[in-house]
Structure 1
């Protein structure tokens, strides 16, 4: 299979950005030179027109966006779960029905199309929270990592980087009586024991290349992993890689944890030394003040997923308080109600405005950082997410001449993009110095919409 990220020749191409976001301001006329290793070699400012041979990028060029939390197969739920009233738990039953029908081949097809949609939205790296491991009856495939391999290949086909957050999921839920066994579609999520998960995960880590494919780890939630499974051992075994966990997404999770353990999920994990700067809590919607202090003091990151949290009526998490406490914030599309990191970024600010009835919690610069640099760091790629020499040559250009973005002066282009642009305004996406999306067209997946339709039909009809 041809690798769409490979750059040939002694040097990579040069790109001329009509306007570029350089971390603090919008700079007109910027040339980004790249090397054969897919990194930026030079940033040249004050270049009024495209130099000979440079690829022109018309609009505002920003660092490539990082989708720090994805469940690729949830893309098949869009529309299906919008037919009436319900709760997170009724939504989950629909999700389980889709999960029960996936195979390595159908999962590859669905993820390839979903990741192509991400590329079209300006996303250059995805964190895939992966727990759909085995066959429908729980029997491992001949290759126990066949489903994970399908996701890695799907990202490669779509031209984006992936951090595969292989997830340990051993129990079906936590109630006041303790942990429940896996049953029904959940059976295929589990490895039987933490040791069995670790053995399979160790084999999967051989796929990491330190560049396009990163293999991290995840605990699904305190509902799915018990104290007796060994939080401390898990933390020790996964030291040095990005580790994510769903945290306090629902009040019911907190209530069950308090009933069984006498503490909140954040405090339970803290008891076992789980939190560290390489750890990311996902959602963190229903936290106490002590929970916020625990996360902030540890330097653990928090991934907010506003479009999913509001779609499922989960609530508005304490993002501003978490950042003040010391937790860097990243963003994810989670269930893919929409795939639009610009919408996730402004939703974090706008939801906080609704909650507090005050404006101006984050600047456009801070929201861009959450959508790029801090997201890449959460995915185990520190140093990514900026337009400067040595950084990966991953960047996204958003048009400034659409009905949503036209009008503001160039100096306010970042504000226009963050607070008004959508994924539909993305025009060009470069990953590893290679154009993946040019003029709004995906270069290696010629018909993303058609592929999405076919892939979703295969697992829902």
Structure 2
């Protein structure tokens, strides 16, 4: 049986044929997808072979993946922080040392290579939680957004979309001035942050959003300024929330309430807001987040790497908080690993299997992630949606064997980033047969960019 869906009057400028496609509820064999002006113009099922002129995508084609939470410069920490013991707070000191080395040029090189790695992993959009704004010592660059614009340019060269979440980071802790490392992060006041952030401009591949680094890094009386800036622009607003119990304790000592309650009291929560981690929450916190439709971005590989803990993802979702996923510190860049880790963490915590279906986990890695980044029309294979696609091999040593109707389960619970064969963004082939089409040697680019900081 053949089904045809098409947007009226949309001229076809490219056609992809997928031998298997995930259509949100099931795997469909033999699907063609027409692209016009970077969007899906039409979808036809029941097409047994590639039509003349169509590009074949063999494997399981999914909507492009959304990496909802990224700190691009943390990619330079991979492996170097795996020596010795410690906590999040000792890891943070190593992170500060890397941040101190970056310039707009070296940041561009590192981010370009990191975003290319994301493209190779099937990621078509990234949420960059950006707080490294100024020169060492806190002196603004001649272009006050030189670092943010370097990230935007890096994403463009790597071929992926970016939501630059320009971050207010004003204090070292409750009532504490920024330390010497944090001077690069601080605009001094939320008003000064808003003035600088307002100079940033989006484009076809870029959205500009806002972030509150955390309740310890933005004084309570300035939270509303950041929230209002985002609200006026209908922009996404993200915030690190209750990642560490020490932050919760300090917030209670300073304000007599939890970080979630503090954010609620200052108008930060809402459907365009996403809490990152949301690890150590009370039942009342969960209710506040769910009832306000505030999203939750889980970053399981980072949360386990930093010994943060396991957040109450099932309770948050049941309360009404949409779930998305991020690779955060880039201990690995693999959204399939993030998706299955969220499920497997719950199994370890509860001794029960099957908290989310493969479909639900794919939605967290795609549609709900894109929505958290300000693109609610992305992350689906439907006419009118952005033509962003990810194709996963079904014949690798990890994915071979299961029948095609279980391809979604295979992708989520067995595949890795190494199994991504194609990545398409706005109809353009960014990764073809496992190779980046714009950056010839991504491993070399990564090695060179990291060496420039550690050398």
| TM class, shorter-length | over 0.9
> Are 1:12 and 2:13 matched, yes or no?
yes
Per-residue deviation, 1:13: 1.0
> Are 1:278 and 2:272 matched, yes or no?
yes
Q: Distance in 2 between matches of 1:134 and 1:273?
A: 28
Per-residue deviation, 1:233: 2.8
Aligned position for 1:435 = 429
Aligned position for 2:309 = 315
Aligned position for 1:107 = 107
Unaligned runs of 5+ in 2: 1-9
Aligned position for 2:178 = 182
1:231 to 223, 236, 248: 223
How many residue pairs align between the two structures? 444
1:199 to 170, 195, 199: 195
Q: Distance in 1 between matches of 2:316 and 2:74?
A: 27
Q: Distance in 2 between matches of 1:420 and 1:234?
A: 41
CA deviations on 1:114-144 (whole Å, 9 max, x unpaired) are: 0000000000000000000000111010100
Q: Distance in 2 between matches of 1:426 and 1:351?
A: 24
1:208 to 196, 202, 208: 202
Q: Distance in 1 between matches of 2:18 and 2:74?
A: 35
Check conservation: 2:12, 2:41, Cα contact below 8 A: no
Per-residue deviation, 1:234: 2.3
Helix, strand or coil: the match of 2:370? helix
> Are 1:288 and 2:282 matched, yes or no?
yes
Aligned position for 1:86 = 86
Helix, strand or coil: the match of 1:19? strand
> Post-superposition, which runs of at least 4 consecutive aligned residues in structure 1 deviate over 6 A?
none
- Give the aligned CA root-mean-square deviation in angstroms: 0.9
Using the TM superposition, name which of 81-90 and 100-109 deviates more. 81-90
Aligned position for 2:31 = 30
TM-score, normalising length from structure 2?
A: 0.97
> Are 1:403 and 2:397 matched, yes or no?
yes
Q: Distance in 2 between matches of 1:171 and 1:391?
A: 40
Per-residue deviation, 1:400: 0.1
Matches within 5 A, 1:257-406: 257-406=251-400
Aligned position for 1:66 = 66
CA deviations on 1:167-192 (whole Å, 9 max, x unpaired) are: 00000123xxxx21112221100011
Per-residue deviation, 1:10: 6.0
Helix, strand or coil: the match of 1:112? helix
Aligned position for 1:131 = 131
Check conservation: 2:210, 2:226, Cα contact below 8 A: no
CA deviations on 1:317-357 (whole Å, 9 max, x unpaired) are: 00000000000000000000000000000000000000000
Per-residue deviation, 1:45: 0.2
Q: Distance in 2 between matches of 1:156 and 1:272?
A: 35
Helix, strand or coil: the match of 1:69? strand
Unaligned runs of 5+ in 1: 1-8
CA deviations on 1:279-329 (whole Å, 9 max, x unpaired) are: 000000000000000000000100000000000110000000000000000
CA deviations on 1:386-434 (whole Å, 9 max, x unpaired) are: 0010000001000000010000110000001100000000000000000
Aligned position for 1:241 = 235
Helix, strand or coil: the match of 1:137? helix
Q: Distance in 2 between matches of 1:201 and 1:414?
A: 40
Q: Distance in 1 between matches of 2:227 and 2:184?
A: 24
Aligned position for 1:3 = none
Q: Distance in 2 between matches of 1:154 and 1:379?
A: 18
Q: Distance in 2 between matches of 1:355 and 1:407?
A: 30
Q: Distance in 2 between matches of 1:233 and 1:202?
A: 13
CA deviations on 1:65-111 (whole Å, 9 max, x unpaired) are: 00000000000000000012111001000000000000000000000
Q: Distance in 2 between matches of 1:355 and 1:106?
A: 41
Q: Distance in 2 between matches of 1:192 and 1:294?
A: 30
Q: Distance in 1 between matches of 2:50 and 2:402?
A: 23
